[in-house]
Amino acid sequence: MNTVHDESTSLDTLVEELRRGEETWAAMSLSARRDLLTALSEAVREHAREWVDAACAIKRLDPGSHLAGEEWISGPYALLGGIGALSETLAALEAGRSPLDGTRLSKAPGNRVAVQVLPHNLFDRLLLNGFRAEVWTEPGVTAERLRETAGLGQRTPRETGGVGLVLGAGNILSIAPLDTLYELFAHNRVVLLKLNPVTDPLLPVLTKVFARFVELGLVRIVTGGVELGSAAVAHPGIAHVHITGSVTSHDAIVFGPGEEGRERQARDEARLDKPISSELGGVSPTIVVPGKWSKRDLAFQAEHIVTQKLHNNGYNCIASQVLVLSEDWPQKDEFLLALRGAFAAATARPAYYPGSDDRCRAAVNDHPGTAEQIADGSRVLLTVPADGDIAFTEEYFAPVLAVTALPGQGQEFLERAAAFVNERLSGTLGANVVAHPRTIRGLGDGFTRFVARLRYGTVAVNAWTGVGYLTARATWGAFPGHTLQDAQSGIGIVHNGLLLGGTERTVVRGPFRPFPRSVLTGRFTLSPRPPWFVTNRTAAVTGSRLTAFAGRPGWAKLPGIFASALRG
């Protein structure tokens, strides 16, 4: 059975099937588990077009539009990357090696260790030239401890963790499958996956993709509303809950709905009697460090920030919501002019996510006289004071971007910006930083200290934090330390294809300028305009070719990818 409603007998049956599947999972060797991943990869590759067509139907996009590239890249491509990373980790463990063997480890600020996760191989160096990513450990975690624990649940595969419930996200369609894999391989839990009602049309595709896992009783995929979700959370056979969604949904699960739930939360009296992990979004910032930019820099970075906001029409947990500028930057007004132009020129798309139009109207109503309704009111640009605004504490989850400014330049601005985003904005999932390489070099160690001060699960410098999401060996989740009573952007991590313990954040770096202008910054890279940019006109072709490559990597596929990417 792949679809149930709220009948307790049906739920009982599913949980019992998974309990038997847990025994199967415990008995499976690492080699057999890798075979399952191979079958999963082949199934994703086979059904990738069907997946993207279903995604475009959900989001009311033309499958022939360049916007379909978002669904290729954040859908089957992302899942295939995760499968490949896990398969390599299992192969290392099976051979008696650490998954970190051959991986570059270095020192990071504050007694941390940095693990290079991008580029991971030669193909990464070619396809994502100029992009880098490191996973930073928590302070005090040593390289020796990392090596000894890498592999997590796959180091003791017979010690399973029961039945886990995954409450899937309704926006990015690789989230639920990737969360399912993390439960299986990081925690050795078999999975009851409940889809978000927005993504229910993806059920036939996911059923085909996970067919082998379903046959063996390792995964069950269900659809249903709040009643089913509540029954599954409360079911005594469920050992753990993982949710991707809003902090409101999290709090209702943990403490109960309505006023009674809020009172319980105030007393820190959880109603949930089992552990929960979560990824809950938040108010993500983009900090623009003042410097001397060319007109083409201003235009490109305006497109970059508009992408951070309008990718998936703003329905991303790490969509940039607050743009932080320097009041004293001589080019501030020129940059805002370029930003407004890029914001207005981005391709129109339907507001498919429930409540989006209402949230846009609320943003306008909350800011009388300072809200700019762009593109027939479907996008909202806010100018807000730095001393306080609702846009700093409420995630709009809609095409709404707030702009604020702080005094200072150089190191003074960095100190103010770090304090502002750490202390004034809700959530800790991701923060973006845009800075000219010459400015970064001039700031020296001060810029490194600034990055280390940002309390976010992913920090992206001259890149979007979404690159961290796409990097299979990177960690993904909130900055550690949140509690059930104040969950912010969530508790725990996912992705993490190396299966590392003791991690704190991922730091991504990208090229300030695309190829060929990158040579003028002193850091030559081959990366053109990235395919995830909302302005990339060949994103769908590039995305489909990248997906085919991720399914079966091969040198012969590279020329076609490069040709499409360079036209974007």
In 275-318, which ranges are continuous DSSP H helix?
Answer: 295-310
pLDDT at 3 over 70: no
What's the pLDDT band for 2 if we cut at 50, 70, 90?
Answer: very low
Per-residue pLDDT reduced to its tens digit, 262-296: 999 999 999 999 999 999 999 999 999 999 999 99
What is the separation of C-alpha 504 from the centre of its chain, rounded to a whole number of angstroms? 15
pLDDT attached to residue 91: 98
Helix %, strand %, coil % of the chain (to 5): 45, 15, 35
Q: Given this model, what pLDDT does residue 1 score?
A: 41
Q: Token digits for 441?
A: 């070099």
Report pLDDT for 524: 65
pLDDT in tens, 486-538: 999 999 999 999 999 999 999 999 999 987 766 666 666 767 889 999 999 99
Ordered by start, the domain boundaries in the chain are: 8-103+155-279, 104-150, 291-444+517-533
On whether the CB atoms of residues 431 and 456 are closer than 8 A, the answer is: yes
| 4 pLDDT tier (thresholds 50, 70, 90) | very low
pLDDT score of 521: 61
291-444+517-533: CATH architecture: 3-Layer(aba) Sandwich (3.40)
- Quick check: 8 pLDDT over 90? no
Instruction: Give every strand in the sheet of 276-279, ordered side by side.
Output: 219-222, 190-194, 163-167, 238-244, 276-279
C-alpha 302/C-alpha 446 separation (Å) is 25
Burial of 27 (0-12, 13-18, 19+ CB in 10 A): exposed
Contact present, 14 and 24 (Cβ < 8 Å): no
The rounded mean pLDDT for the chain is: 95
How many C-alpha atoms does 4 have within 13 Å on its Cβ side?
Answer: 22
* Per-residue confidence band for 7, with pLDDT thresholds at 50, 70 and 90: very low
User: Which superfamily, per CATH, for 8-103+155-279?
Assistant: Aldehyde Dehydrogenase; Chain A, domain 1 (3.40.605.10)
How far is 172 from 75, CA to CA, in rounded Å? 7
> How much is the average pLDDT of 360-384?
92
Lowest mean per-residue pLDDT among 149-163, 165-179, 384-398, 503-517: 503-517
Model pLDDT, residue 253 = 95
What pLDDT is stored for residue 557 in this prediction?
Answer: 95
Using one digit for the tens of pLDDT, what is the confidence trace for 403-453? Answer: 999 999 999 999 999 999 999 999 999 999 999 999 999 999 999 999 999
Question: Would you state the pLDDT for residue 33?
Answer: 98
45-50: long-range contacts, CB 8 A cutoff, minimum separation 24: 45/76, 45/80, 45/547, 45/548, 45/551, 45/552, 46/208, 47/76, 47/205, 47/208, 47/209, 48/72, 48/75, 48/76, 48/544, 48/547, 48/548, 48/551, 49/544, 50/205, 50/208
pTM over 0.75: yes
Q: How far is CA 440 from CA 333, 509, 525, in A?
A: 22, 12, 17
